[in-house]
Structure 1
Amino acid sequence: MQKRRAPSWCFLATAGLALAHYGVAASATPAPDTPVDLRGEAAPAAPGRPYAARNLPDRIILSPGGDPATEMGVSWRTDMAANETTAELAELVPAPNFGLRAAAVAGANVTAISENGEARYHKVRFTGLKPGTAYAYRVRGSAGFSEWHQFRTASATAAPFRFIYMGDTQNRILDIGSIGWRRALLQAGNPALMLHAGDLVASRDDLTHDDEWGEWTATGGWALATVPQVPAAGNHEYVDLINADGSETRRLGGHWPVMFNLPANGAAGAEKTSYFTDYQGVRFVVLDGTSALDLGTLQAQTAWLDARLGEAPGRWKIVLFHQPIFTCARPGDTPVLKAAWKPLFEKHKVDLVLQGHDHCYGRLTSEAGRAAGVEARAGGAMQGPVYMVSVAGAKMYGLNDRADTQPDRVAEDTSLFQVIDVAADRLALRAYLNTGVLYDGFDLVKSDTGNRLEELPDDLPTVRRCSGPAQLIDQPMPADRLGPDGLPCTAEVKD
Structure 2
Amino acid sequence: MPKPRGALYLFLTLSFAILIALSAFSQEFAADEPRQIVLTWQNDPSTTMTITWRTDIEGERSVAFFSTNKDLAIEESESKEAETYTFEETAAWLHTLELIDLLPGETYWVVLQTDDGTSDKFCFRTAPENPGDIKFIVGSDAQHLRSQMSVIREVHRKAAEEDPDFFVYSGDFVNAELSDYEWDLFFDLWHELMITDEGRRIPIIPALGNHEVVAGYGGSIEAAVFYFNRFKIPSPYTYHVINYGPELTIISLDSGHASPVDGEQVAWLEKTLQENQDSTWTLAHYHDGGWWGSGAVPTKVRCLWVPLFEKYGVDVVHSGHIHSYIKTWPITGIGELSGEIDSMIEEGLERAAENYEPGKNYAPPLQPNLLKLSRGSWEELGYDSLSAGLRELTYMLSLYVIQSGEATKERVFDQISSTKLFENFWKPVIDSESYEENALIDEENGVYYVGVGGLGAEMGGGRNPDKYWWLKEAGSDHHYWRITIDSSTNQLTVVPVFYYPDEGRWEEGEPFTRTK
Structure-2-length-normalised TM-score: 0.66
Q: 1:392 matched to which residue of 2?
A: 455
Asked if structure 2 preserves the Cα contact closer than 8 Å seen for 1:78 and 1:142, the reply is no
Q: 1:202 matched to which residue of 2?
A: 175
Query: How far did 1:394 drift?
Result: 2.9
Higher fraction of helix: 2
The 5-angstrom pairing of residues 242-321 of structure 1 reads 252-263=223-234, 265-266=235-236, 271=237, 273-280=238-245, 281-291=247-257, 295-296=259-260, 298-312=262-276, 313-321=278-286
Q: Deviations over 1:55-90 (max 9, x none)?
A: 201111011243100011110111224143311111
Gaps of 5+ in 1: 1-43, 243-247, 447-495
Greater CA radius of gyration, 1 or 2?
A: 2
Asked if structure 1 preserves the Cα contact closer than 8 Å seen for 2:209 and 2:257, the reply is no
SS in structure 1 opposite 2:493? strand
Q: Deviations over 1:275-309 (max 9, x none)?
A: 111113101010111336xx546311111111111
The whole-number CA distance in structure 1 between the counterparts of 2:437 and 2:203 is: 36
Asked if structure 2 preserves the Cα contact closer than 8 Å seen for 1:51 and 1:210, the reply is no
Match of 1:383 among 424, 442, 445: 445
Asked if structure 2 preserves the Cα contact closer than 8 Å seen for 1:278 and 1:284, the reply is yes
SS in structure 2 opposite 1:408? strand
Match of 2:68 among 73, 91, 113: 91
Amino acid across the alignment from 2:124: F
Q: 2:510 matched to which residue of 1?
A: 440
Structure-1-length-normalised TM-score: 0.69
Q: 2:38 matched to which residue of 1?
A: 61
Query: How far did 1:222 drift?
Result: 4.2
Amino acid across the alignment from 1:62: L
SS in structure 2 opposite 1:340? helix
Match of 2:213 among 213, 235, 238: 238
Q: 1:215 to 1:119 in 2, by over 3 A?
A: closer
Higher fraction of strand: 1
The whole-number CA distance in structure 2 between the counterparts of 1:222 and 1:415 is: 21
Q: 1:213 matched to which residue of 2?
A: 183
Q: 1:147 to 1:49 in 2, by over 3 A?
A: closer
SS in structure 2 opposite 1:177? helix
The answer as to 2:112 corresponding to 1:139 is yes
The whole-number CA distance in structure 2 between the counterparts of 1:409 and 1:66 is: 36
Q: Deviations over 1:453-484 (max 9, x none)?
A: xxxxxxxxxxxxxxxxxxxxxxxxxxxxxxxx
Gaps of 5+ in 2: 1-18, 196-200, 332-428, 500-504
The whole-number CA distance in structure 2 between the counterparts of 1:153 and 1:399 is: 39
Amino acid across the alignment from 1:286: S
Asked if structure 2 preserves the Cα contact closer than 8 Å seen for 1:182 and 1:220, the reply is no
The whole-number CA distance in structure 2 between the counterparts of 1:109 and 1:428 is: 41
SS in structure 1 opposite 2:482? strand
SS in structure 1 opposite 2:214? strand
Q: 1:159 matched to which residue of 2?
A: 132
Match of 2:322 among 341, 358, 365: 358
The whole-number CA distance in structure 1 between the counterparts of 2:41 and 2:144 is: 26
SS in structure 1 opposite 2:96? strand
Q: 1:74 matched to which residue of 2?
A: 51
Amino acid across the alignment from 1:252: A
Asked if structure 2 preserves the Cα contact closer than 8 Å seen for 1:91 and 1:98, the reply is no
Q: 2:475 matched to which residue of 1?
A: 411
Amino acid across the alignment from 1:344: L
SS in structure 2 opposite 1:291? coil
Q: Deviations over 1:183-220 (max 9, x none)?
A: 1222x2x210101111011116xxx7112112212222
Q: Deviations over 1:121-170 (max 9, x none)?
A: 11100100110011011222233221111011001124211000112110
SS in structure 2 opposite 1:290? coil
**Identity across aligned pairs (percent)?**
23
